[in-house]
Amino acid sequence: MNTSLPSIFVSHGSPMIALEPGAAGAFMARLGPAIYRTFGLPKAIVVASAHTTAREPVVLAGEQHHAIYDFGGFDPRLNQMRYDAPGSPVVAKRVVELLTQAGIGTHSLPQGGLDHGIWTALKYVYPAADVPIVPVAFVPSQPPAAQFALGEALAPLRDEGVLVLGTGSITHNLRRVFADGLRSNPDKPEIAESAAFREWMRAKSEVRDWPALMDYRRLAPHAVDMHPTDEHLLPWFVAAGAGGRDNAAIRLHDSVTFGVLGMDVYAFGPEAPALREALG
């Protein structure tokens, strides 16, 4: 492929999306083919996930990956699912180079492994597990502005045929999600607090109000309720930074499960409108 790619943020919600795809899983199953039709098959996917974090950025440069079952108490069938995708030491080396050039201290480890935020989403986007993956652990104690800067450092990858992906959840309060137990009803109506927060994110993204977005915990309605801790939203800022400060920030999909777990998907960069058009 020789076409630049948008960067993308997907909401994976809880591990149960692997068994209960819902509207978000159905959308992600359309996302991979739409990317292929519009841009071709990515050379690799560089991904920042809410569940792969460290005290300093770490690039997993292993030649092979497998699914990691980093959860407990869910349907035991999840532990039998596989996602054996290749890695890319070459792209991993490029990631380290870009982050180092940006003054971001980075480590590289020759190992693989995909947390559930990665494989539960990619099993829909690329079910054949045929696109190499390079996970990048971010620092969850750093603010949104730092995650945006990390994404900006990765932006050249988009012109090199690499998909920069963030995976988390646009809202993520598991205490609310599972207030009725692990078998809570996924089809509950959305609560007002979730709707208000998701709409604020959409509206501020549409006009690229980065100062407000980076200060979301103070400015967004019900921000602390929707994100008691913000590691599930921070990958959104990585993807946004990779898309570029002056380029489109578009919500491609919005849905909610369990009444409070937002499953929105965003695309960033000048290529984002073409992807939206391809998805109809």
Burial of 246 (0-12, 13-18, 19+ CB in 10 A): exposed
170-222: pLDDT as tens digits: 999 988 887 776 567 888 999 999 999 999 999 999 999 999 999 999 999 99
Determine the pLDDT at residue 1.
56
Runs of H (alpha helix) within 10-69: 22-39
The number of folded domains in the chain is 1
Residue 82 CB coordination number (10 Å):
10
In a domain, 226, yes or no: yes
Q: How far is CA 41 from the centre of its chain?
A: 18
User: Domain containing 225 — which CATH number?
Assistant: 3.40.830.10
pTM over 0.75: yes
129 torsion bin: left (phi>0), alpha (psi -120 to 50), beta (else) = left
Burial of 135 (0-12, 13-18, 19+ CB in 10 A): buried
Determine the pLDDT at residue 88.
98
Answer for the pair 221, 197: CB distance below 8 angstroms, yes or no: yes
In a domain, 1, yes or no: no
Q: 3 falls in which pLDDT band (50, 70, 90)?
A: confident
In a domain, 91, yes or no: yes
Q: Which of 163, 117, 108 is nearest to 136 (CA)?
A: 108
175 or 97, higher pLDDT? 97
Q: What percent of the chain has pLDDT over 90?
A: 89
Determine the pLDDT at residue 174.
86
Answer for the pair 112, 66: CB distance below 8 angstroms, yes or no: yes
d(CA 18, CA 23): 12
Q: What average pLDDT score do residues 129-146 get?
A: 98
d(CA 213, CA 165): 19
Answer for the pair 153, 237: CB distance below 8 angstroms, yes or no: no
Burial of 38 (0-12, 13-18, 19+ CB in 10 A): middle
In a domain, 2, yes or no: no
Determine the pLDDT at residue 71.
87
d(CA 262, CA 227): 11
Determine the pLDDT at residue 152.
98
Q: 247 falls in which pLDDT band (50, 70, 90)?
A: very high
d(CA 47, CA 38): 20
In a domain, 63, yes or no: yes
Q: What average pLDDT score do residues 94-106 get?
A: 97
Average pLDDT for the chain: 95
The yes-or-no verdict on residue 2 having pLDDT over 60 is: no
Q: 279 falls in which pLDDT band (50, 70, 90)?
A: very high
Side chain identity at residue 167, one-letter code: T
Q: Which of 115, 124, 114, 117 is nearest to 32 (CA)?
A: 124
Domain of residue 113, residue span:
7-279
In a domain, 131, yes or no: yes
In a domain, 250, yes or no: yes
The yes-or-no verdict on residue 147 having pLDDT over 90 is: yes
Determine the pLDDT at residue 178.
77
In a domain, 196, yes or no: yes
Phi and psi at residue 224, in whole multiples of 5°? -70, -30
Determine the pLDDT at residue 197.
98
43-86: pLDDT as tens digits: 999 999 999 999 999 999 999 999 999 988 888 999 999 999 99
12-27: pLDDT as tens digits: 988 989 999 999 999 9
